[in-house]
Structure 1
């Protein structure tokens, strides 16, 4: 295993990846020798339809093999990584791996090796008497007319829209002439551009050392605008671009009519399809943010509201840390229907095509929302359980400030035994409660005041500790309300009883007990000592001892269990320590 790949052998990698497509889609078969994935003959559907074949170098998955399936491609031919398949591989696919009686449409992206090898195969098939049409797709505007010269535009992610449209039309039983015509029309109305933060590394090649400088590599903070899907350069590089400016430049290359070098398409249709494609290394979360930015700028700057928005991984550059934007200008197909959008909506049974939203859902344009107030901040009725609000405000403020001051220490501990966010989470919660009681002074009614803090904790603290505190406080409110039936004063004894009930409630949802190295190691001794002594200072001291006792205690629960190492021997549990700081501040012993 190399530093960059789990499978170092590129030949084995391609072979196994092609085989996996047949494992995830049982309607497909693999000609391993020729690296052809094709649809299995279906005895239940004897009628022949136009076959649609594509392919190219491996490394662009899910294109092309995972685009094979009902309603999409009939077969896909794979080369080695970033290299065209041979003419003989392609000829075999045309002649022997698809139903070719109704004709064959071969689509290929505009790269010299692909065009030549697929072209040779097409000519051989024609010479053998088969009806075959070939379409070369070039949708990339990253390289303008002047630089592209006779070669023309490269093919990138927009090609998958051509495959879907052609495959859907073929599945409807339309003729080769019609399928080829609509596919060409779509290709002529297609523009794409990509951007990437890094070049990709090809399995099987030497991995540059830290001291080596990979030729043409992008520097940290640099982005290649218009990068091709094989690490080819684009229109230029920029440094320290924020996403909005990057998207603005990409859309300008797609849509600026005044840019004579790149004005390949006049988007004059009322219908535009948007495809935001992941080049392989962008997280789903970040791709969502990118898609939102693209859609917003299309509307604001160009008045374009796409009729369909596809966002996902359709054509990659291995694990390329980048994305591409594709626009399809929807025009009349002139074949008496169906239209391009309808063909994109047609069902397809291919693992690489992810567009599960139905035509009816898109066209319903449902704008309904649920606007009712769903907050839990309902009016809490006075309980009559009173306490000294002025003194409590002073003590609680000191306790919260104690937690805030301890954040660096808690974070340091959590960096050793966890993921480093415990201190920030506690600080965020403490600051939110502090802000709340400053703007909403305590009333002196124990139930009302604790209940008002619950939603603050729930909205400001996330993760496991946030949930535990929320359970504890919600139960505490119920316990205090119960006490109000028998007493009107929330003294130390009453608080101890309520805290004990809150602890019992928390125990119903977590197996954490004293000795498990969790915040319970600080909470339990505080509650127990307060019940025994009614002395907050002594209870806080017991909590501190409990937190300190977690140093050297091996975790039984929480993320510390998975971290491993010997850090637990040097530092206390961060959650327990943070809670002990709250109690220390409450007691005034900081």
Structure 2
């Protein structure tokens, strides 16, 4: 079963919507909550009604942050919620409209094109008009717009047959943003409605999902196989227009863009032109931000490649289907007229202050900083040295031989990659030496270069520990004036290694006795600095590594396993393999 779960954080499915809305108000102190009618509204609503056109939206719960998450300055004045995937009743909507209505400026109601919403919101508007007239007031200034941006399930005969039309999807959020910001800027009801209608008629959305979403208290309505994806799945788990084999995102996303621009509504809107667009990438609930970033990249690229220049690209979680593992992509076609296009983009760019909208930060490009990021050029002159080449060769051979055992040990106590990572680093250094790409006539320069190779090839925690130690070792040798082989005696190497350990200790709390490679490295350095005897230092390192078998792990993933239980630390054993190979070549 693909990317789905029937598990939920829930106390009582019957009170989940109310409880969630209470949580929203706790986290967003500008909001107030009418618990009986499930209406979220901005606390300054009484003043807001005197200043501007007010707007509200609503529908079933389960699409969070839609719609309550968009209540705030420059967006919605209020939102009304039904049960999960169910329209609020007309009485709920009427209560919201009464609360929100601006006598002076009027009110715009925005809804998605679903039968329950159209009927309940429509009835509430008509009830409000009737009661106002019956109270002796003039006909209230209330308008309602219905968003239908879906191009996944389209009946080409809707216009002739008076069909239900296209479903309302993430494009509704763009309507709320542009119309809400226009209202906040003092536009009239007619102007705000005009902006909303433009966005409705020029926005085209297609979604897809790896699976349906589990509904709290009900579970999974249906499932897809791991190898399937459904194109056009609705935000209430409605079936899409096709199930197909799951493809790489690099094929899937351009295919979604192709479907949008080939759809009848899009072609009817754009004709033969290639207008500029806003690309709006939406998380349907359970797609990771890591994957969503990829979808955004591919969406923008595919749109541009097809001749539609993205003026803005927005990414976020705006209109969900509970925890649906899927995405939707919307294209908002911008006006051809430069002035009108600039006006619409200004409304989009203007910050809105609410829980759900992601404001784009726009700053002036002050020029490239690439040169600074690269830092000063690292120059060195490759030089061969037969002794050091044989030392590197022997260290590499020793790691190759030890890798299976190091891997086995790490599989028992860690994540199993220690041997492979160590071999990657040793291979990179060996190949650089073999191709004479190291300055082996200068020990400090060679170590600095080796550190860079290790960083690029190893990665992980062990990689950075080696890098920090090698960086410190290079600095210590330079400080000691030990550059050529004659000046780098074993005792000098030992002294430099102790200094390098001090550098390493600035950035890690690992110390001898913590069951890490430090348990082999510290005794090797100390013994070498004291005696100058490589063989004796190697024995100390080997004993230190073996002693880790009885130590309690205090660092790394082995902490979660427990005691060593007679298994030595893989990192310490790997380091001894490196040292023993190098020592063998020096004997």
TM-score (norm: length of structure 2): 0.89
Q: 1:138-153 maps to which residues of 2 (within 5 A)?
A: 138-146=148-156, 150-153=163-166
Relative distance call for 1:465 and 1:99 in structure 2 (3 A) is: farther
- Partners of 2:170 and 2:319 within 8 A in 1: yes
Q: CA deviation at 1:559?
A: 3.8
Range that drifts further, 575-584 or 87-96: 575-584
1:169 alignment partner, one of 182, 187, 190:
182
TM-superposition CA deviations, 1:237-294 (whole Å, max 9, x none): 11131111111210111112xx548745427464311111111212212211111111
- SS of the aligned residue for 2:51 comes to coil
Relative distance call for 1:451 and 1:346 in structure 2 (3 A) is: closer
The equivalent of 1:502 in structure 2 is 500
- SS of the aligned residue for 2:50 comes to coil
The equivalent of 1:71 in structure 2 is 74
Range that drifts further, 370-379 or 447-456: 370-379
The equivalent of 1:522 in structure 2 is 520
Structure 2: segments with no counterpart, 5+ residues: 133-139
Q: Determine the C-alpha separation between the residues in 1 that align with 2:342 and 2:447.
A: 63
2:470 alignment partner, one of 460, 470, 473:
473
Correspondence 1:575 to 2:571: yes
Relative distance call for 1:401 and 1:74 in structure 2 (3 A) is: farther
The equivalent of 2:286 in structure 1 is 281
Relative distance call for 1:465 and 1:375 in structure 2 (3 A) is: farther
- Partners of 1:377 and 1:455 within 8 A in 2: no
Q: Determine the C-alpha separation between the residues in 2 that align with 1:367 and 1:154.
A: 44
Correspondence 1:556 to 2:562: no
2:84 alignment partner, one of 81, 86, 89:
81
Q: Determine the C-alpha separation between the residues in 2 that align with 1:318 and 1:578.
A: 48
The equivalent of 1:224 in structure 2 is 230
Range that drifts further, 523-532 or 188-197: 523-532
- Partners of 1:28 and 1:40 within 8 A in 2: yes
TM-superposition CA deviations, 1:182-216 (whole Å, max 9, x none): 2011100000111111211111224xxxxxxx664
Correspondence 1:491 to 2:489: yes
Relative distance call for 1:530 and 1:223 in structure 2 (3 A) is: same
Q: CA deviation at 1:351?
A: 1.3
- SS of the aligned residue for 1:323 comes to strand
Q: Determine the C-alpha separation between the residues in 2 that align with 1:333 and 1:11.
A: 50
Q: CA deviation at 1:112?
A: 1.4
The equivalent of 1:326 in structure 2 is 330
Q: CA deviation at 1:444?
A: 2.9
Q: Determine the C-alpha separation between the residues in 2 that align with 1:402 and 1:304.
A: 58
Range that drifts further, 92-101 or 303-312: 92-101
Correspondence 1:92 to 2:60: no
TM-superposition CA deviations, 1:427-455 (whole Å, max 9, x none): 33223222322231553321222122122
Q: Determine the C-alpha separation between the residues in 1 that align with 2:483 and 2:235.
A: 74
- Partners of 2:75 and 2:177 within 8 A in 1: yes
Correspondence 1:428 to 2:424: yes
Q: CA deviation at 1:333?
A: 9.5
Structure 1: segments with no counterpart, 5+ residues: 207-213
- Partners of 2:547 and 2:568 within 8 A in 1: yes
From the two aligned structures, give the one with the greater helix fraction.
2
Q: Determine the C-alpha separation between the residues in 2 that align with 1:108 and 1:539.
A: 77
Correspondence 1:544 to 2:542: yes
The equivalent of 1:29 in structure 2 is 32
Question: Aligned Cα RMSD in Å?
Answer: 3.0
The equivalent of 1:211 in structure 2 is none
Relative distance call for 1:32 and 1:410 in structure 2 (3 A) is: farther
The equivalent of 2:62 in structure 1 is 59
Relative distance call for 1:260 and 1:15 in structure 2 (3 A) is: closer
- Partners of 2:472 and 2:499 within 8 A in 1: yes
1:453 alignment partner, one of 450, 455, 470:
450
Correspondence 1:349 to 2:353: yes
Q: Determine the C-alpha separation between the residues in 1 that align with 2:381 and 2:433.
A: 19
Relative distance call for 1:231 and 1:581 in structure 2 (3 A) is: farther
Relative distance call for 1:504 and 1:297 in structure 2 (3 A) is: same
Correspondence 1:195 to 2:211: no
Relative distance call for 1:199 and 1:374 in structure 2 (3 A) is: same
- Partners of 1:253 and 1:262 within 8 A in 2: no
Number of aligned pairs?
568
Relative distance call for 1:377 and 1:452 in structure 2 (3 A) is: farther
- Partners of 1:10 and 1:80 within 8 A in 2: no
1:314 alignment partner, one of 315, 318, 339:
318
Relative distance call for 1:41 and 1:444 in structure 2 (3 A) is: closer
Q: 1:263-274 maps to which residues of 2 (within 5 A)?
A: 263=267, 265-266=269-270, 268=273, 270-274=275-279
TM-score (norm: length of structure 1): 0.88
Range that drifts further, 419-428 or 155-164: 419-428
Q: Determine the C-alpha separation between the residues in 2 that align with 1:344 and 1:229.
A: 24
- Partners of 1:8 and 1:204 within 8 A in 2: no
Correspondence 1:133 to 2:143: yes
- Partners of 1:403 and 1:427 within 8 A in 2: yes
- Partners of 2:275 and 2:336 within 8 A in 1: no
Relative distance call for 1:400 and 1:230 in structure 2 (3 A) is: farther
Q: Determine the C-alpha separation between the residues in 2 that align with 1:249 and 1:144.
A: 17
- Partners of 2:523 and 2:544 within 8 A in 1: yes
Q: 1:357-396 maps to which residues of 2 (within 5 A)?
A: 357-358=361-362, 361=363, 368=368, 370-371=370-371, 374-375=374-375, 378-379=378-379, 389-396=385-392
Q: Determine the C-alpha separation between the residues in 2 that align with 1:24 and 1:74.
A: 18
Q: Determine the C-alpha separation between the residues in 2 that align with 1:46 and 1:545.
A: 79
Q: CA deviation at 1:371?
A: 3.8
- Partners of 1:64 and 1:76 within 8 A in 2: yes
Q: Determine the C-alpha separation between the residues in 2 that align with 1:117 and 1:46.
A: 23
Q: Determine the C-alpha separation between the residues in 2 that align with 1:504 and 1:369.
A: 33
The equivalent of 1:246 in structure 2 is 252
Q: Determine the C-alpha separation between the residues in 1 that align with 2:150 and 2:128.
A: 29
- Partners of 1:473 and 1:502 within 8 A in 2: yes
Q: CA deviation at 1:136?
A: 1.0
TM-superposition CA deviations, 1:88-128 (whole Å, max 9, x none): 11110001245454221111111111111111111111222
- Partners of 2:515 and 2:552 within 8 A in 1: yes
